[in-house]
Structure 1
Amino acid sequence: MSKYKLKSQLENFLIYHPYNFWVQIRSFFETKLNNTLKTELENNKTLRNKYLGERCFIIGNGPSLRNQDLIKLKGEYIFVTNNFILNERASDINPSFYCIIDPMIHNGTFPVERLRDIEKQLSNIKLIFRYASRDFIQKNSLFKNNDVYYLFDKAVLNENYLFDMNLDSCIPASINVILSCIISASYMGFSEIYLLGCDATLFIPKPEHFYKSTKEEENKKESMEDKLMFASLMFKGYRILNEYCTKKGIKIYNATDGGALDVFPRVEYENIVK
């Protein structure tokens, strides 16, 4: 056994498993005492296996999206994320779910105008946020006419995660938004998940998204060490979720044009859409 794997196993046994048990116990009592949280988690139950046996597409914001005709996805179940509203075809493909877990939302620095653009251009879309973002959404009177779901993500996504990832209870916090989408899609009952725009190349010095970097992204300074550490946790998260979904009979495919993500089997985008 390598030193790396031994270290990982020791961390799981001594730190993460005990921590996640503690989080689950604390969350159980928190949902009993916090009526707002309890109501939101009950609302999430309406999504459980709602799309059983269907397929869905989860779209990241990688630069490879420039090379793929997203209009071919119209009529499919689609998850979009974060700044996808900046894509000129956003309203044309009529996505089903919009997931934003960026901490800038719950710390109040995410541009409200961008959220209002989502509200205007994608009027029928369902929204997924962290529960920690709820106050920000409510305070700014956002998405009053939309179905909004909140993820109570307090646990740690570690090797051999010991609990079901049900949206009506505490789930692992995700290192990136695509992982949250995969957890959500598995809870909803989708049996096939296709990833697009998941280039996973943030650690490579080149354009990181299909759009020009926003002011918030340009102001975010990260060292290469930070980027590589993030990438390691991200790839680990993809692998753990792939193992979790495989056990549940859910297949995940990578239809991204290129990129570094090597966790899932590759498929050609043109072969799975009309």
Structure 2
Amino acid sequence: MGKRDTLMLKTDELAGGLMNFKHSIDFICRADKKLLARNVKLKEHGKEDFCFVLGNGPSLKKIDLKSIEAYPCVTVNFFHKGAQEFDSSYHLFIDAVFGGQYFDYVKEFKKAHPETKLILRDNMAAKMKQAGLEDNNNYYVCADYVQKGNLIRCDMTKEMTGSLNVIPVAIECALYMGYKKIYLLGCDFNSYAVVKDEHFYDGQEGGRAFASEHVVGDLIRCALVHKQHFALEDYSRKNGVKIMNLTEGSLVSAYERGHLEDILVNR
């Protein structure tokens, strides 16, 4: 590694440290500790020691979702646009847009899937209550801590490691809930390497075509997320948890690869 690269890494670590200091102060002053304490109930998840974490990548089109619906599944964001009848065990709305321009989608989701345990940012609690959507299946997290080295904070009752992508946060939640095997599906994470960024619920002409001005920003964000996946692999291995990537063609290389068919045949 050259001197310039070393300097850049040290600068990033210093900036991350300053941001984490601010986040820690904000957490102490602002966070509703009683609200977060409820998350301990998520450890009571039944007999299964494994779960599926589903991204929204186009590879999910090849998966028979009915084959896994009976098992614990964690879904995220707009997953149900492509699988309206799928009853997830858990669903994450972590991105800030779900407290703003896409809040109507959250309301529709609650009506369609009232039994799904919903995991949201803690700053959405008041809005959920005001909208008449508050119930015992809503859980809230504070996931703002900046990734540094291999440090992972996945205690859902405290400040968690945040991410520029929802899947690492979903994995952190699965780790906290006590699952010993976490299987990833639909986690293609290849938007920076294809002409169009697509999801499994997009039509044949769907997806966002990349403009040249987006490339640098996308590469930087994706590099940080890749780094976080390696930290999650390190954390999980040291804590006796196995994360396996079952996504065909995925660019997430941190985890052992596998095939869904091999997992299901042993169930």
The equivalent position to 2:106 in structure 1, one of 103, 108, 115, is: 115
CA–CA separation in structure 2 for the residues paired with 1:218 and 1:136:
30
Structure 1 residues 256, 71: CA separation in 2 closer, same or farther (over 3 Å shift)?
Answer: same
Q: In 1, Cα distance between the equivalents of 2:4 and 2:60?
A: 35
Q: What is the 5 A alignment of 1:50-61?
A: 50=45, 54-61=49-56
Give the aligned partner of residue 10 of structure 2: 10
- Of 226-235 and 55-64, deviating more is 226-235
Q: Point out which structure has higher relative CO (alpha carbons under 8 A, 6+ apart).
A: 1
1:45-124 aligned within 5 A: 45-48=40-43, 50=45, 54-88=49-83, 90-92=84-86, 94-106=87-99, 108-112=100-104, 114-124=105-115
Choose the corresponding residue for 1:169, options 158, 161, 183. 158
**For residues 19-49 of structure 1, what are the alpha-carbon distances to aligned partners after superposition, in whole Å with 9 as ceiling and x for unaligned?**
4355335523444xxxxx1221111122247
The answer to which of 238-247 and 13-22 deviates more is 13-22
Question: Following TM superposition, by how much is the alpha carbon of 1:240 offset from its aligned partner in structure 2, in angstroms?
Answer: 1.4
Give the counterpart letter for 2:260 in structure 1.
Answer: Y
Task: Give the 5 Å matches for 1:1-274.
Answer: 1-3=1-3, 6-7=6-7, 10-11=10-11, 14-17=14-17, 19-21=19-21, 23-24=23-24, 26-31=26-31, 37-48=32-43, 50=45, 54-88=49-83, 90-92=84-86, 94-106=87-99, 108-112=100-104, 114-142=105-133, 144-161=134-151, 164-203=153-192, 204-212=194-202, 223-274=214-265
For the residue of structure 2 that corresponds to 1:225, the secondary structure is: helix
Query: Closer, same or farther in 2 for the Cα pair 1:25/1:165, shift >3 Å?
Result: farther
Q: C-alpha displacement at 1:153, in angstroms?
A: 1.7
* Stretch deviating more after TM superposition (164-173 or 129-138): 129-138
CA distance in 1 between partners of 2:8 and 2:72 (Å): 36
Aligned residues: 260
Report what 1:34 is aligned to.
none
Closer/same/farther in 2, CA of residues 16 and 223 from structure 1, 3 Å limit: closer
Contact 1:175–1:237 at 8 Å: present in 2 too? Answer: no
8 Å Cα contact 2:153-2:161 kept in structure 1: no
**For residues 76-126 of structure 1, what are the alpha-carbon distances to aligned partners after superposition, in whole Å with 9 as ceiling and x for unaligned?**
1100110011123x424x2100111121123x11150x2233223322100
Runs of 4+ in 1 over 6 A off after TM superposition: 219-222
The alignment's TM-score, normalised by the length of structure 2, stands at: 0.86
Whichever residue aligns with residue 110 of structure 1, its letter is: Y
CA gap 1:43/1:232 in 2 versus in 1, 3 angstroms: same
SS at match of 1:80: strand
AA at the equivalent of 1:28: I
User: What TM-score do the two structures reach when normalised by structure 1?
Assistant: 0.84
**What one-letter code is carried by the residue in structure 1 that aligns with 2:90?**
F
d(CA) in 2 for partners of 1:104, 1:255:
29
Q: Could you tell me how far 1:8 is from its partner in structure 2?
A: 6.0
Distance 1:14 1:52, change over 3 A: farther
Q: State how far apart, in whole Å, the 1-side matches of 2:176 and 2:5 are.
A: 29
1:237 CA displacement: 1.5
- The CA distance in 1 between the partners of 2:71 and 2:210, in whole Å, is 34
The CA distance in 1 between the partners of 2:228 and 2:131, in whole Å, is 32
Unaligned runs of at least 5 residues, structure 2: none
